[in-house]
Amino acid sequence: MFENDYIMRMIMQLTDAITRSLQRGYADPQKEIEDLENAMADLVDMDAKTLFTLAPESMVSMLQLGSFDAELGGYLVRALYYEADLLEEQGLLGTADLRRAQANAIADTYSIDKDIANAGPEALEEYFAQQDDEQQTNSPLDTFEL
């Protein structure tokens, strides 16, 4: 139960970072990227500098060592694709390509739909809102019986 609470808190921090970024419209792109990377690193319980320098296959291997699963993968893959778009807008094409490769490696390993790579900000917001609704609907407190 405590682990689920912790994971939900990390997911909420990631969705909050993306939502803030979408609402600000990239007012400070470098800050948006940094916030997003920190939220993603927190989600998988790793240091951001270490996580984002890993080759795609190495990133997947590191994630498999922990309690990472396909549900978390859906969030992380979408966030990586989103960050790649931000990086590309800043002219950081090599880093953007790395983020997309990392996202693709995770998607392949955890059978996550890659069509999300082309999802715009509206689709991203819709996904996070839908996941939030599902989490609230499937709350362990709903099934608790006295």
23 belongs to a structural domain = yes
Q: Which residues contact 101 (CB under 8 A, 6 or more apart)?
A: 56
Task: Kindly compute the dihedral angle of the four CA atoms of residues 66, 69, 62, 5, in this order, to the nearest 10 degrees.
Answer: -40
Domain that holds residue 99: 2-133
Number of domains the chain is built from = 1
Asked if the structure places residue 138 within a domain, the reply is: no
* In-domain check, residue 144: no
Closest by Cα among 102, 107, 98 to 72:
107
Name the pLDDT band for 145 (thresholds 50, 70, 90): very low
> Is position 17 within any domain?
yes
Q: What is the pLDDT of residues 59-114, one digit of tens each?
A: 999 998 877 877 888 888 988 998 998 899 899 999 999 999 999 999 999 998 87
- Output the six-digit token pair for 64: 């498999």
Burial of 53 per CB tally in 10 Å (0-12, 13-18, 19+): exposed
**pLDDT of 144 above 50:** no
For residue 143, being part of any structural domain is answered with no
Q: Which stretch, 2-6, 26-30, 56-60, 113-117, has highest mean pLDDT? A: 56-60
Confidence of residue 20 (pLDDT cuts 50, 70, 90): low
The band of 7, judged by pLDDT with boundaries at 50, 70 and 90, is low
% of the chain exceeding 90 in pLDDT: 28
Q: What's the pLDDT tens digit per position in 107-139?
A: 999 998 877 655 555 666 676 666 666 655 554
pLDDT value for 142: 46
Instruction: Write out the two tokens for 28.
Output: 């400070």
Q: Is residue 114 part of a domain?
A: yes
* 91 in any annotated domain: yes
Higher pLDDT, 41 or 10: 41
How far is Cα 137 from Cα 126, in angstroms, rounded to an integer? 16
Find, among 34, 19, 140, the residue nearest to 78 by Cα: 19
Average pLDDT over residues 45-68: 90
pLDDT of residue 26: 59
In a domain, 84, yes or no: yes
What gap in Å lies between CA 21 and CA 37, rounded to an integer? 12
